[in-house]
Amino acid sequence: MKVGFYGHVRQYHSIKSEIDDRFHEVMESGEFVMGPMLKRFEKELAEYMGMTHAVGVNSGTDAIWLVLLALGIGHGDEVITTTNTFFATAEAIWFTGAAAVFVDSDPKTACIDPTKIEKAISRKTKAIIPVHLYGQCADMKAVRAVAEKHGLRVIEDNAQGFGARGNGFRIGELSDAVCTSFIIQKNLGTFGDGGAVVTNNPEIDRIARKLRNHGSDKRSVHSMGYNSRLDDLHAGFLSVKLKHIDQWNAERRKWAEKYTRGLVSAKTFTLPTEAPGFYHIYHLYVIETKKPEHRDQLLKFLNDAGIDAKCHYPIAIHQQEGYPWGKQARIVGPLIQSERNAASCISLPMYPELTAEEVDFVISKTMEWDASHA
Ligand SMILES: Cc1ncc(COP(=O)(O)O)c(C=O)c1O
């Protein structure tokens, strides 16, 4: 049996008529850029998130970058985040000319460790970017408390957490803006690239909206900006998929539970932790080998068995060759948990369209390896 890492085509087939109808609707409308479908999706997205404004942009990276710009963050400023995230979180900070300041992650959730933030704050600090890694919200209440105490902005990197919830808080409730990626492999992904800024702050909305469109909110009138728009075709696909996202997230949780039941007795690796009261949407189901030297062995074993397991992310940002490429960066270390996470993580196949047989196969192979290495 082969088990793929993504279910994009299966997902397309499961909603093919809806997607195809929407494709034709946009094609026949003759409006492909900044058209009515984008407006419609932005409205639906803001409603889904329980927030007032949503701005479609061309990627999750640009969403973070444009929010930072909208908040006036740039040269001479510092923004605090983690290094065990996708590279783009830091890249977006560096695009603005600001310095990225890295703190360690929580040993259980792999999201930012709020107890490490205060020590990293300097006179230059302007914002914190918690990442809802793997589909679980960071501890936003604690992040928000530090931010309020020090007058800092909070920007949620929600590329991986679409539809997740915290214990007693919603995404967007405790921050200035939420930045989302719609690249195909995300829980809510289009057939290509896309992203959005979602906020309750009309100024962030106004500025991000202009910045994504060459600094223009009126035809032929410009200030400095960029081309970072979400196309209407993608908006149309996302509008269709938004109706299914809660069901798809529930399916992911079902597979996560099955994995956890099947793998709970393993001796050589640990399983993902859902923090009490949190609603994890398992963008990724990540196990961690107890011995770092086991990681590549187990990964190879699974790959050789036809299971497309991967790593997110095997090289933490501060461990990448050439770091920090002449950019401003500060590590308030040690980054023990981020480095452990990078050295030991394995992502098992996780998508709503998996079958029970496939999940059973992944469990049996993973446990087979565990039994021979315990
Ligand atoms: C945590 C995180 N932040 C930011 C991004 C950047 O999003 P995009 O690829 O849409 O630019 C991604 C994913 O790709 C991500 O996983």
Residue from 65, 155, 183 to probe ligand 1 pocket by mutation (most atoms less than 8 Å from CB)? 183
Identify the bridge partners of residue 345 per DSSP, sorted by sequence position: 288
In this structure, the dihedral spanned by the alpha carbons of residues 346, 103, 321 and 300, taken in order and rounded to 10 degrees, is -10
Shortest CA distance to 59 belongs to which of 87, 79, 21, 31?
87
Q: 287 C-alpha to center of ligand 1: Å?
A: 21
Q: 85 C-alpha to center of ligand 1: Å?
A: 9
Please indicate whether residue 339, judged by its CB atom, sits closer than 6 Å to ligand 1: no
Please indicate whether residue 131, judged by its CB atom, sits closer than 6 Å to ligand 1: yes
Shortest CA distance to 334 belongs to which of 113, 47, 154?
113
Shortest CA distance to 341 belongs to which of 182, 141, 200, 133?
133
Counting from 1 in the atom list of ligand 1, the atom nearest the Cα of 194 is 10
pTM given for the model: 0.98
Task: Indicate left, alpha or beta for 220 from its phi (over 0: left) and psi (-120 to 50: alpha).
Answer: left
What is the Cα–Cα distance from 113 to 333, expressed in whole angstroms?
Answer: 12
Q: CA torsion sign, 235 to 173 to 93 to 158?
A: negative
CA angle 219, 221, 224 (to 5 degrees): 120
Q: Which two tokens stand for residue 219?
A: 């035809």
Q: 46 C-alpha to center of ligand 1: Å?
A: 20
Q: 86 C-alpha to center of ligand 1: Å?
A: 6
Q: What is the pLDDT along the chain (374 residues), one digit of tens a residue?
A: 999 999 999 999 999 999 999 999 999 999 999 999 999 999 999 999 999 999 999 999 999 999 999 999 999 999 999 999 999 999 999 999 999 999 999 999 999 999 999 999 999 999 999 999 999 999 999 999 999 999 999 999 999 999 999 999 999 999 999 999 999 999 999 999 999 999 999 999 999 999 999 999 999 999 999 999 999 999 999 999 999 999 999 999 999 999 999 999 999 999 999 999 999 999 999 999 999 999 999 999 999 999 999 999 999 999 999 999 999 999 999 999 999 999 999 999 999 999 999 999 999 999 999 999 99
Residue from 181, 184, 229, 313 to probe ligand 1 pocket by mutation (most atoms less than 8 Å from CB)? 181
- What secondary structure letter does DSSP report for 162? T
Tell the residue nearest (CA) to atom 7 of ligand 1: 60
